[in-house]
Structures are given as C-alpha cells and as structure tokens.
C-alpha cells in the first residue's frame, strides 16, 4: 500500500499532526497481518484524510475527555504523588520533577500539584500539548462500520495511563476509555 511501511510487523504511516510526528497504525478487522488485496486502499486513504482534516476538533475533543477522565481519577487517588513520577525514577530528584512541570504548566499549577496533590484540567491539557498522540485505523470489512481510535498517553506522573477515543467514520466518538 502506498504511503504505508511495515514497522515491527504493522502497517505504519508517519504524519505531522498537531505539531507532532505521529504514527498511524492500520489494522484490518482487528488484525495487523494485512493482505493488501483484501483492503480497499481508497477507503483507508479516505479515513486518513478525514482524520487529518478534523485535527483541531479531535485535538480539543479528545483532550477534554482525557482531562475529565484522568484529572478526576488522579485527584481521587491520594496515593499518587509527583515524587513518584517517571522523571523521579530517571533522576532520583523531585527538583527535576518540579522544574519539568514549571516549564510545561507554570508556577501556580505546579505548586498545587507539588503541595496539595491537586491537578486541574487546564494544567493537564497543557501537559497533553507536550505529548504525542497515536492514531489507529481499524478498517473493518463487512457489516461493521469502519472506525479509528485516537490514543493519548500520559506518563509524566507515576501512573502510566492511555486514553482511547473510538470514532466512527461520521466523525463522532462512539466510546472512550482510559486504560
């Protein structure tokens, strides 16, 4: 298939999207082993263009949903502390965690997180602006609707959470979940 290359056994296409280079992964009926003759390439490309054409909508919509899910969960789980973030594991210094947060979300929000373990949705959306997103296109043949999934990843804190928004080809989010 043109514009796609096989990386780690999966059809992958790298594109610039929302100021990030992201990888789009193509699946056919949920499988990564694809026979090019089975897939209607024009329909897949139509889906790609539809996603890329609505990037601002998906960016805002998915970030808002992820922020709602993650921030509510984070603020309820009192054991989650910034000291345990991935940066801390790499540097063994909470100072580095604080510096990284200051760069991304600013002084006021960083102080709230470091002192009170409170994360606001606005601050989290700023964190997401610094993160890459992946797009998985699952092309279904038959009665099922084709759909695509936009995935966002947050690992600045101790937790390693992925958010998935599953969308139909009409451009509507059918379901979303955090894993």
pLDDT in tens, 83-137: 656 666 677 677 777 888 899 899 999 988 888 878 899 999 888 888 778 888 8
Burial of 105 (0-12, 13-18, 19+ CB in 10 A): buried
- Which of 154, 156, 136 shows the shortest CA–CA distance to 146? 136
The pLDDT of residue 112 is 87
Model pTM score:
0.77
Interval 130-163: pLDDT, tens: 877 888 888 887 655 668 888 888 777 667 789 9
β-strand partners of 73: none
The pLDDT of residue 177 is 93
């Amino acid at each position: 298939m043109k514009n796609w290359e096989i990386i780690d056994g999966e059809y992958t296409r790298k594109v610039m999207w929302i100021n990030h280079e992201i990888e789009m992964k193509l699946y056919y009926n949920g499988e990564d082993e694809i026979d090019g003759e089975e897939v209607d390439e024009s329909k897949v490309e139509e889906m790609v263009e539809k996603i890329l054409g609505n990037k601002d909508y998906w960016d805002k919509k998915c970030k808002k949903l992820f922020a709602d899910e993650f921030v509510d969960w984070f603020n309820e789980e009192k054991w989650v502390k910034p000291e345990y973030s991935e940066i801390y594991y790499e540097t063994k210094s909470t100072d580095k965690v604080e510096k990284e947060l200051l760069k991304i979300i600013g002084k006021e929000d960083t102080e709230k997180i470091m002192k009170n373990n409170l994360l606001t949705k606005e601050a989290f959306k700023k964190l997401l602006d610094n993160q890459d997103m992946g797009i998985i296109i699952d092309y279904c043949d038959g009665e099922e609707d084709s759909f695509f999934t936009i995935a966002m990843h947050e690992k600045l804190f101790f937790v390693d959470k992925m958010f998935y928004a599953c969308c139909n080809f009409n451009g509507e989010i059918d379901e979303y979940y955090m894993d």
